Amino acid sequence: MRRRLPWALLVLLVLAQIGYPLTTGSVRAGLTMATVAVGFVLSVTHALLSRGQRPAAVLVAVTTGGGLAVEACGVATGFPFGGYDYAGTLGPKLLGVPLVIPLAWTWMAWPAWLVAVRLTGAVPSGVRIAARVLLAGLALACWDLFLDPQMVADGHWIWQDTVPVLPGVPGVPVGNYLGWLGVAVVMMATLQLAAGPAIRRPVHRSARGPGPDDAPMYALYLWTYLASVLVHGVFLGLGASAGWGALGMGLVAVPLTVTLLRGHRRGRQPGPRHGREAG
The pLDDT assigned to 1 comes to 66
In this predicted model, what pLDDT tens digit does every residue of 247-274 receive, in sequence order? Answer: 999 999 999 999 999 887 776 544 554 4
- How far apart (Å, rounded) are the C-alpha atoms in residues 100 and 33? 6
94: phi then psi, degrees, rounded to nearest 5: -135, 125
Contact between 223 and 256 (Cβ < 8 Å): no
Question: Per residue in 37-66, is it b (16+ CB within 10 Å) or e — as a string?
Answer: bbbbbbbbbbbbbbbbeebbebbbebbbeb
d(CA 164, CA 278): 43
Q: pLDDT at position 274, please?
A: 46
**pLDDT reported for residue 273:** 47
Contacts made by residues 155-159, CB under 8 angstroms, sequence distance 24+: 155/87, 155/89, 156/29, 156/32, 156/86, 156/87, 156/89, 156/90, 157/84, 157/85, 157/86, 157/87, 158/84, 158/85, 158/87, 159/82, 159/83, 159/84
DSSP-assigned states of every residue in 220-248:
HHHHHHHHHHHIIIIIS--HHHHHHHHHH
User: Which ranges of the chain have pLDDT less than 70?
Assistant: 1, 203-212, 267-279
Domain that holds residue 182: 4-276
Distance of CA 231 to the CA centre of its chain: 17
Compute CA 56 distance to the chain's CA centroid, rounded to the nearest angstrom.
Answer: 15
pTM of the model: 0.92
Relative orientation angle of helices 100-119 and 215-230, to the nearest 10 degrees: 110
Counting the structural domains of the chain, the total is 1
d(Cα 102, Cα 64) in Å, to the nearest integer?
5
